[in-house]
Amino acid sequence: MSCSVLLCREIELSQLRELLARFGISITEVADDEPIPGSWFGDPEAGIIATTLYIRGDTPVHSALHESCHLICMDAERRANLHTNAGGDYDEENGVNYMEITLAGYIQQLGSERIFRDMDCWGYTFRLGSAKAWFEQDAEDARSWLIGHHLIDSNGTPTWRLRNP
């Protein structure tokens, strides 16, 4: 399947900056011909070091959100030592995916339908075969995990806090 995903150069980057600043996450842009610091999967995937997200113009927006959501969802101890590998367990990864989809709605050019498509295109795998089916029919455990850590409220709205502890 051939498909393309939305890239950071194709959105109003100020929207992503403002969104992530609400969590205390800053963005550092890297020149297109430079390696991305803190990228676990390598260029063009986003990188994370401490509370800084590193991106290039060719970084997929879903990658920028995914790595940011790792920062949001990890505990304070891991966040304090974060460099490249977000780690985390199964429940946290599901929370990251759920939060990624939730935050997509705050970026005008992205939204939920586009993030579902981009996640499927990039190769995220879910038991029900698609990101949308997972989110709508199989993600109650992820939602409960996020609510339990006070990262979203019972309406699914972000609380704009980092996980603590």
The domain in which residue 102 lies consists of 8-148
**3 is a domain residue:** no
Edge-to-edge strands, sheet with 52-55 = 26-29, 52-55, 47-49
**157 is a domain residue:** no
pLDDT of 1 over the 70 cut:
no
Entry pTM: 0.95
How far is the C-alpha of 147 from the C-alpha of 141, rounded, in Å?
A: 10
* pLDDT value of residue 76: 93
- pLDDT one-digit tens code per residue, 15-74: 999 999 999 999 999 999 999 999 999 999 999 999 999 999 999 999 999 999 999 999
3 state SS of 32: coil
Sign (positive/negative) of CA torsion 53, 12, 42, 112? positive
Distance of CA 112 to the CA centre of its chain: 13
The total number of structural domains in the chain stands at 1
**103 is a domain residue:** yes
* CA distances for 49 relative to 26, 78, 102, 145, angstroms: 10, 11, 23, 24
3 state SS of 53: strand
Which letter does DSSP use for residue 39 in this model? -
With residue 54 as reference, give the H or E element that holds it.
strand 52-55
**161 is a domain residue:** no
Distance of CA 150 to the CA centre of its chain: 17
Distance of CA 68 to the CA centre of its chain: 5
- pLDDT one-digit tens code per residue, 89-120: 999 999 999 999 999 999 999 999 999 999 99
